[in-house]
C-alpha cells in the first residue's frame, strides 16, 4: 500500500509586496511539506484583475527565493482558469442551489435593517438569506431586461439538504463539525468577477492535488464553507492546519493596506534570511 505524499501551497494575491505575515505563512507551508518529504506549490490568487498586478508576482518570487523557499512547477494563476470556475458554477446551477442577486450593498443593508430581521441574541447580524425575494418579480425582470450586473449566491438551506453532517480534519484541533450555515447565502460569484475566493480556492486545491491546507486562524471559519463546496462539487477534502496570525504591536493583523513592513524593505536595509527566521521563530 503506497502512502500519499502531502502537498501544501502558498497562495498570495499579487496586489502588493509581501510582509512578515506572508513570510510566516509561506515558511509554515513550505516547512510542513519539507518535514514530511512532500511538495510545496505556489499559486497566485489574482481573480481581482483590477487590484492584482503581474509585477508583484516577480517581487513575490524574489522574496520567496531570498528566504530559500522553492516551489514545485510553474505557479498557477487563477486568472487563467476562469473556465474551470465556470464549470463548477454550472455544477451548482444544475443542483438548483444558486440564484442571481441584483441588490446593491445599500439595498441589502436597508433590507436587513427591517424590523423582521433584527440581530440575534449575540448581537451579531442575521445571515443573509433568499435575497432574490427582497425585490418584486417585475423589478427583477426589469433588471434582467436591462442586463444589470448581478452576483450569484448559494442558497444555503437548499445546499444543506443535499448533504449530511460534514466534518473536516484539523491537524491542531482534531475533527471539526462543519457549520456552513453561519455564512447564510454566501456570494459564490461576484458581480464584477465570474467567481469568488471561496469557489476558486476549493477548485484549485482539488486540481493541484493539495492534501494539506495551511493558513492563518483568521480563515478558520471559512473552512466550514469550503467543506460544503467540496461535498457539493464532489471534490476531495484536504486536511487543514491553521496557524497563528502575526499582528503589529497594537495587536492589529499585518496587512498590505496598512503598509506593514515589507520583506523587500527589510532586505534592502541589510536583513538576512536568518534574521527573518529568528524573528518568526523558524528553524530552516
Could you state, in order of their start, the residue ranges of all structural domains in the chain? 1-80+247-284, 81-200+217-235
Asked whether 22 and 257 are in contact (CB, 8 A), the reply is no
Whether 81-200+217-235 and 1-80+247-284 are alike in CATH topology: the answer is no
- Range with lowest mean pLDDT among 89-98, 136-145, 156-165: 136-145
Q: Is the pLDDT of residue 1 over 60?
A: no
- Spatial separation of the C-alpha atoms in residues 133 and 111, rounded to whole Å: 10
Between 3.90.1150.10, 3.40.190.10, 3.90.800.10, 1.10.287.3510, what CATH number should domain 81-200+217-235 receive? 3.90.800.10
- Spatial separation of the C-alpha atoms in residues 155 and 22, rounded to whole Å: 33
Q: Which CATH architecture has domain 1-80+247-284?
A: 3-Layer(aba) Sandwich (3.40)
| pLDDT greater at residue 109 or residue 273 | 273
pLDDT value at position 125? 65
Q: What is the pLDDT of residues 60-82, one digit of tens each?
A: 999 999 999 999 999 999 999 99
Mean pLDDT over residues 197-214, rounded? 98
Question: Residue 4 — pLDDT band, cuts 50, 70, 90?
Answer: confident
**High-pLDDT (> 70) share of the chain, %:** 89
Grid coordinates of 173: 484541533
Grid coordinates of 205: 486545491
Top-ranked range on mean pLDDT: pick from 29-38, 134-143, 274-283: 29-38
- pTM (2 decimals)? 0.89
Q: What is the pLDDT of residues 78-93, one digit of tens each?
A: 999 999 999 999 999 9
Amino acid at each position: 500500500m503506497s502512502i500519499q505524499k502531502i502537498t501544501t501551497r502558498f497562495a498570495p494575491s499579487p496586489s502588493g509586496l509581501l510582509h512578515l505575515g506572508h513570510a510566516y505563512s509561506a515558511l509554515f507551508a513550505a516547512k510542513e511539506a519539507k518535514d514530511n518529504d512532500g511538495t510545496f506549490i505556489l499559486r497566485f490568487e489574482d481573480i481581482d484583475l483590477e487590484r492584482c498586478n503581474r509585477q508583484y508576482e516577480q517581487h513575490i518570487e524574489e522574496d520567496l527565493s531570498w528566504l530559500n523557499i522553492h516551489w514545485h512547477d510553474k505557479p498557477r494563476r487563477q486568472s487563467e482558469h476562469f473556465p474551470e470556475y465556470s464549470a463548477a458554477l454550472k455544477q451548482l446551477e444544475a443542483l438548483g442551489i444558486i440564484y442571481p442577486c441584483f441588490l446593491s450593498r445599500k439595498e441589502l443593508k436597508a433590507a436587513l435593517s427591517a424590523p423582521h430581521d433584527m440581530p440575534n441574541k449575540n448581537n451579531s447580524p442575521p445571515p443573509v438569506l433568499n435575497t432574490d425575494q427582497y425585490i418584486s418579480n417585475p423589478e427583477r425582470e426589469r433588471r434582467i431586461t436591462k442586463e444589470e450586473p448581478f452576483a450569484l449566491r448559494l442558497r444555503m438551506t437548499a445546499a444543506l439538504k443535499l448533504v449530511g453532517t460534514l466534518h473536516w480534519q484539523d491537524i491542531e484541533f482534531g475533527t471539526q463539525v462543519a457549520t456552513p450555515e453561519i455564512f447564510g447565502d454566501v456570494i459564490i460569484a461576484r458581480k464584477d468577477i465570474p467567481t469568488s475566493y471561496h469557489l476558486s480556492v476549493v477548485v484549485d486545491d482539488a486540481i493541484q492535488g493539495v492534501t494539506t491546507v495551511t493558513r492563518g486562524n483568521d480563515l478558520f471559519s471559512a473552512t466550514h464553507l469550503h467543506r460544503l463546496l467540496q461535498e457539493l462539487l464532489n471534490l476531495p477534502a484536504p486536511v487543514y492546519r491553521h496557524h497563528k496570525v502575526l499582528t503589529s504591536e497594537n495587536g492589529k493583523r499585518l496587512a498590505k493596506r496598512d503598509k506593514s513592513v515589507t520583506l523587500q524593505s527589510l532586505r534592502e536595509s541589510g536583513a538576512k534570511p536568518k534574521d527573518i527566521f529568528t524573528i518568526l521563530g523558524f528553524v530552516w
